[in-house]
Amino acid sequence: MALIPDGTFPMLLSHLEKTSDTNRRRLAELDARGDWHGMVKFAGENLARDPSNSDWWMVKGYAYTQLKLHRQAAECYSEMVRLAPDDMVGWNLLAESQRAMGQSARAVQTLDNALLIRRDSPATWFVLGESYSDLGRDAPAAQAYRQAVQLNRSFAQAWYGLGRVYARQGYKADFEQVVQTLERLNPALAQQLAKEQAGALTR
């Protein structure tokens, strides 16, 4: 999943503002061991005491994601969205789970709903671009990626997605400009983009 690759649990921990330091340390230990079943159980215990705590729904969803149980993860993220609709992290993770289940059209609907609440999240626009790319809809994908990089000029993954779309569309000049931008932000990703996509350019 694009938003929670390996090694990003510290980012999720930093999001758990309502969670005690003791519980955060316990979660970090479970993550370090890769004990996802233990994390599901731990989150469930805390939700039994406080089912309205959106943080624990995110933790439980994260653990299910690591177990590749995307339907269960989506259920957790849906509850997170219900409890904290102004938190874009929940919407983004829900959409990523839907993509993982092959439901990219549903992910687009989820993100469209999220953007009715807030339009200032680069990650939300990025996942929307990814979802449209899944569906082969290059024009709206490019528009979403462009929104992401306008909000965060250093968002290398979004630049990469935009470059892939330009390559599919055959927009050589735009593609090369994206590669140049990525060379400053992430040289390895720029090299990967140039290698993967240059052959697709037709004009």
Local confidence band at 203 (pLDDT 50, 70, 90 cut-offs) = very low
6 lies in the same domain as 54: yes
**Using CA atoms in the order 107, 108, 112, 114, what is the torsion angle rounded to 10 degrees?**
20
Please give the residue range of the domain that contains residue 194: 120-203
The upper half-sphere exposure of residue 54, i.e. CA atoms within 13 Å in the direction of its Cβ, equals: 19
Distance CA 57, CA 176 (A): 42
At 25-35, the pLDDT tens digits run 999 899 989 99
The pLDDT of residue 8:
57
- Residue 201 maps to which CATH number? 1.25.40.10
pLDDT digits (tens, 9 = 90+) for 33-58: 999 999 999 999 999 999 999 999 99
Q: d(Cα 18, Cα 52) in Å, to the nearest integer?
A: 11
pLDDT above 50 for 100? yes
- Of 74, 101, 128, the position where a domain reaches its end is 101
Over residues 111-136, the pLDDT tens digits come to: 999 999 999 999 999 999 999 999 99
48 and 131 co-located in one domain: no
Over residues 174-190, the mean pLDDT reads 95
Give the model's pLDDT for residue 24.
87
Q: With helix as H, strand as E and coil as C, how does the chain read?
A: CCCCCCCCHHHHHHHCCCCCHHHHHHHHHHHHHCCHHHHHHHHHHHHHHCCCCHHHHHHHHHHHHHCCCHHHHHHHHHHHHHHCCCCHHHHHHHHHHHHHCCCHHHHHHHHHHHHHHCCCCHHHHHHHHHHHHHCCCHHHHHHHHHHHHHHCCCCHHHHHHHHHHHHHHCCHHHHHHHHHHHHHHCHHHHHHHHHHHHHHCCC
Binning pLDDT at 50, 70 and 90, where does residue 198 land?
Answer: low
Instruction: From residue 66, give the alpha-carbon distance in Å to each of 36, 39, 58, 62.
Output: 7, 10, 12, 6
- Tell whether 92 and 126 lie within a shared domain: no
**Same domain? 156 vs 191:** yes
Please indicate, yes or no, whether the overall pTM of this predicted structure exceeds 0.85: yes
Q: Which of 69, 101, 133 is the last residue of a domain?
A: 101
Domain count for the chain, please give it.
2
Residue 191 in any domain: the answer is: yes
